[in-house]
Structure 1
Amino acid sequence: MRWPRQLMSLLVVLALLAGPPMVLLFLIGPPVSGWPSTKQVQAWVQQPLTEQTLTAALTIGAWLLWLLLAYTVTVRAVTRLQATAAWLRQVPLPTPLQATASGMAGAAVFGVTTHPVTTAAPQPPPSSAAGTPEQPAEANPRTDDRAVSDDGILVPGGWLPRDAAESVAAAAALLWLRRRRDYRPRPLTPNSPEEPRPARLPPAVAAVQVALADAPAPSHAAAPTDSFTALVGILPTGGLGLTGPGALPIGRGLLLTALLAGHRHPARTLVITRAALTDLLGPDAEPLGGRLPQLKIAEGPGDATRIVEGADPPRMVILAEDDCDADDATPLAGVTAANGGRLIMLGSWPTGQTWHAEPTGHLHDPTHPDNPAPRMCVLDQVTAADLLTVIAHPEPTRPSPAAPRTPLPQAVTPRPPLPRQSTRGTAHPRPTASHQRLHLRVLGEPTLLIDGAPLTIRRSAAVQVLAFLAAHPNGADTRQLTAAIWPGLPRRSLTGRLYTTLSDLRGAIRTASGLHVIDHTDDRYRLNPAHVDVDLWHLHAAIHHAATTATDTTTNWQTIRDAYPADLAAGRSWPWLDPIREVTRQRVIDACAALADSENDPQRSIVLLQGGVHIDPYNADLHVRLVNTLTALGDHEAANQLHNRYRRTLAQAGIDETVDHRATSSTVTNPNSRSHP
């Protein structure tokens, strides 16, 4: 806890401010008792260094030093007040109870610290759902630095309507499914030099996922909404110009909302001029623009008109003020509106309406000042680019199939127990023979078992800590843990939360078992392998053994299969988890494919491949191998059934069928077969 140190700091400052003046006044008196007389000046000139003059000089010097100290404290207090005022302008209005608590905490902070303040760049303030009147978002105590309401969520760099945030999360899940579909099993080898894990999703996506997970259920049962439909409903049909400091943030929100709608409904497209795309995305416009589905880039209003008059008219057109040409823009607005779409100008509209856009996302119609101001999705440049990557087509280049494998994390060799940390005089029971080793299960539902009985862990963050450390046998430092568990939040507000979580977790384990499970040395936290047994580590050992043993494929595969009952932390949606979960699954299907390739019995090879398909029903390469093997054995009916089932699986998940893996596996391919997934 920091308040004792802060209280001590306050007392020291008060002592320095009040102590010297009291001592000087009591011992010497005021520094100046009046102006010196003429005789005193003449006496001082004749004999300047006397006991009286030296005492006066030292007294004045002491008072000057005190004034310098008082000035320094005052300047720092004013800096703190200014920084806090700037921060408060970015925070949504709290409830009265929250305002009282915040005021008390703020008063304590202002009084107890004398350290310099570094202020972060302000984030865009919250706005409301597209097409809805203003609704202030109240701070939620469970989400701390994020504002969550029924209508939307606030994340670093912007605010999204709730249904748009849910669409981002769904698109992120589909992105991982597409990666699973496209993965090609690699040769099963022992640990090799490291290569990167599957790329993590951008921080903004992780922040959206965590905010949705933390968000309370809506206070009322609302009908399904569509931000894009609501958006079209509030924008004028004759074209709209956006001016003001919020024009570009709102423009990025319009871009994301329209493309997310197109991601769900391919018939909905968006046309944007190259100048407008550059204004919105900056340096990311060129590399990202060509990879976004349902986005058509026009060179100007004339080119946009030709696209709109085509067979697939867009639902929205966005122009830049530099593109402005009344002769082209006005007809373009009419054609777009005739097809049920809207035209937006990032700047003043030459012949139609222009609304003022505030940084908060409010749109004001100057012709109807009394109308409620709708609040739109607002995004900064980095956040917009990050969120758009989840619906962008992948990069054209692919890693070579011969690239080295990611090494399996190996549990460290058990070491002698570290000296016990101070327990502040509290006696803990010594471990008994039945509690010498705990079992942590992270494949499936994360559970810590003590003598086979699950330990109740009160904090969800503590469960994440256990799973994260299980996936990182070499440990993790404070920064890695806080960034993984609470992405998007400032670290200064999380260190104490992490310490509280770890203290509570350690205490619960010690109380139940008497064991010290989590070691902390050199700012790295590790699970102690001498006290805890982790199922994920057993899986790694089984795969490593299969890679180094060329015989008895049946036993090796059965050992791996038994060690992999379910996906890593199945059912959990922690943002840090997906890359590690994917690597773990990939190593299992690597083993499946490698053992099937080394099997001389085709029937046994089919059994092995079926096991791999059961583990990952989305992987195209495994289906190709199994279809080819079935076809080579003449079982065309089973091959067709497998192919059709695979297509239904992809369709139900909302991902399309890929043809990249056809006839590329190492199994025998029948050129006469018509069954290819």
Structure 2
Amino acid sequence: MIRAVRGIGVLLIAIAVIVGPPVLVALWLIDHPPSLDDLSTGGPMSAGTIVALGTIPVVVVWLVLSVALLRRGIRQVRAHLRMPTPSQVTAGSMAGAIVLGGPAVVAVTAPATPAAAATTPAQDVLGARGVTLPDGAGWVPAAVGQAVATTAAALWLRRRRAYRPGESGNEDLRPLPVTVNALTSVIDASAPPVPLVEQLPPGGLALTGPGAGDALRGLLITLLLGGRSVVMTWADLGELLGDPYRSGPLPAGLRAVDELESAGADETALRLRPHAGTGLGHPATTWEVGADGTVAGARRLCVLNPRAAADLLQLLTLARPVEPVPIAVSPAVARLRLLGGCELSVEGSPVVVRRRAGLQVLAYLGLHPAGATGHELIAAIWPGLRPASIANRLHVTTSELRKDLVSRTAIELLRHENGRYILTGAVEVDVHRLSDAIAGLERAITPGERGLAQRAVVDAYAGELAFDCDWPWLIPLRETFRRQALTAYVSLADSAEPDEAVQLLRAAMTVDPHNEDVLSRVAAVQGPRRPRPYA
């Protein structure tokens, strides 16, 4: 309604500007007609003659402005009515690529999809409904905004279903990112779903223009919201989101690798700048993307700045976490001890790891059973250095580590496949037993089940994680396990007899002798038991 009223107002103003002046002049001249005798006699001219002569240049200027406005209006009408070319509305029947032209080039290789109908969805043409994000963060089509609102609503519902009354902690109650809230405040998540389809022309696509980077970020989020699989390098993802050191969890559907050589049959591959020898081909179609996401007047793409894209990617990571990858179990020939120290042993004998960074690689992989990419390892072990610039350092470290392992056993302990480093099933990691016990505690329901699960946690906690290893990336994990063990000890002590409670709380003091709550609990339990000197 507001847009309609505004449009009517603009139309009335335009009519008044174009039609008003000549009408007023004509009415005035009818009442005061000019006289040609004033020009022939050379005498004083009448008011009508003076006005008639003065209106000549005004009429010329009016004609020029009217013609300019008319031509501009015709161009805008044609832009709104222009139909996209077949390559713009037909989904790729073969692998395609999106490339940002100019100094920064982005390539996207899309899997083959069936040909689409020769009709353009309403949200793909100019004039589409959408949301302009605050502070110039971008423009989001209604379909994408609705998908964001639906995803946010599903996340909160999942948290409600998973909450267990009596549990402490409210980490999952933190507000969602500002971009998510900005969209959910104006989009109705309960409205009928709008098709969320991102079609790529066959043979590849090159994006150029001032809005190419923002459009690529919008395409990444749109594809993930639509359930498509995307692959790109860590370096490109970090540059796209304005954080070259980015690592950590990613949403399901997004696979980050160290080097992008090829994409899976169902994956859309994104890459910054052209890379020779990747086999992804060259784009056959070029789109000039304006700063507002418009493409040749035929469609308007979702455009996001780095902050907005990072916010929406965070929502997807929370709502769609990657499912744990099952690890093949094989007879263990090596044991990695991470509780109470950090040591790898083969058949009971310690393995000498010559590089300190190699020991960190073992510890990191032991704590991440699904493995890690080179980018993730570099970001953790060498913080502050751009992972893309020191990839060779990791290569040397892992090569030396393999030599250390091979010198003790011919069985493969460290593997690099599909762009990820991983410890094989031949390595037994003690911290996995503790992780399984914590997972069992989270699943426990009855008091009896929780008591047994808490016993399993305290039994599995054999010491501080990687004791005497002060690696910055390790500290959050170390404190997480410490708190889990403390909570288990204190919970057991609360339901135990006084003598056993004292023993449990003293054991908790060995887990963290600096914790004030544990110290106060010990004092409270021991105080009444001490005999008074003067009874």
Asked if TM exceeds 0.5, the reply is: no
**Shorter-normalised TM range:** 0.3 to 0.5
Using the size of structure 1 for normalisation, the TM-score is 0.30
